[in-house]
């Protein structure tokens, strides 16, 4: 048990790692002998003449430059269109804000929750019983403005829909999606005593 691990491995048939061979160093130049007769003074570098480009290389370079210019022009046009759309949206949003001034019909004491789908999520707005009937009849609408759901009249809702349709959260104008066949079955009806 006094054998080292190395001795045990060699005894099992493992071979020792060969040592890398050293390459001889290249002969050093003597600093006293200049390589070139003009090396002692200042060397004047002359540009080597470039070989003439073939017509194919010139055409390829022109095509690449044209493609680069075309892509740059497309990016600039896309950026300008994006900025114009953002400006138009900002102007439309300001107009919606002016439409909603004094036209919001939300009541603090409203206690009936009216649920609706907006942006892929179920949202709610609190209304009174008369507002609920008017909302379901299409006389009122819901507009989402600055993170708030505003109950508005039919005229304001339609004006907002003309400016920015994405802000109209709920408007019952009779064009809603109808339920698929079979949902009028009584087993799919919501009971009257169900409380959300």
Whether the predicted model's global pTM rises above the 0.75 cut: no
How many residues comprise the chain? 196
Q: What is the pLDDT of residue 182?
A: 59
- The mean pLDDT of 4-13, rounded to a whole number, is 84
For 140-175, what is each residue's pLDDT tens digit? 999 998 889 999 999 999 999 898 888 899 888 766
**Alpha carbons 152 and 100: distance in angstroms, whole number:** 8
**161 in helix, strand or coil?**
helix
Q: Which residues of 4-22 are buried (b: 16+ CB within 10 A; e: fewer)?
A: eeeeeeeeeeeeeeeeeee
Domain limits, the chain: 58-175
DSSP string for residues in 17-85: PPPPPPPPPPPPPPTTS-SSGGGGSPPPP-PPPPPPPPHHHHHHHHHHHHHHHHHHHHHHHHHHHHHHH
């Amino acid at each position: 048990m006094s054998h080292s691990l190395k001795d045990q491995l060699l005894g099992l048939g493992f071979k020792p790692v060969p040592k890398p061979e050293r390459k001889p160093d290249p002969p050093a130049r003597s600093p006293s002998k200049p390589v070139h007769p003009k090396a002692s003074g200042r060397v004047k570098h002359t540009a080597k003449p470039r070989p003439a480009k073939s017509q194919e290389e010139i055409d390829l370079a022109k095509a690449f430059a044209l493609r680069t210019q075309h892509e740059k022009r497309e990016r600039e046009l896309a950026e300008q269109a994006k900025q114009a759309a953002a400006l138009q949206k900002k102007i439309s949003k300001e107009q919606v804000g002016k439409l909603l001034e004094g036209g919001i019909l939300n009541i603090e004491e409203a206690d009936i929750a009216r649920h609706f789908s907006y942006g892929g999520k179920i949202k709610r707005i609190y209304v009174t019983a008369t507002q609920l009937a008017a909302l379901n009849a299409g006389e009122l609408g819901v507009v989402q403005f600055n993170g708030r759901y505003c109950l508005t009249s039919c005229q304001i809702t339609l004006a907002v829909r003309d400016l920015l349709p994405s802000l109209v959260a709920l408007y019952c104008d009779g064009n809603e999606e109808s339920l698929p066949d079979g949902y009028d079955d009584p087993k799919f009806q919501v009971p009257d005593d169900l409380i959300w």
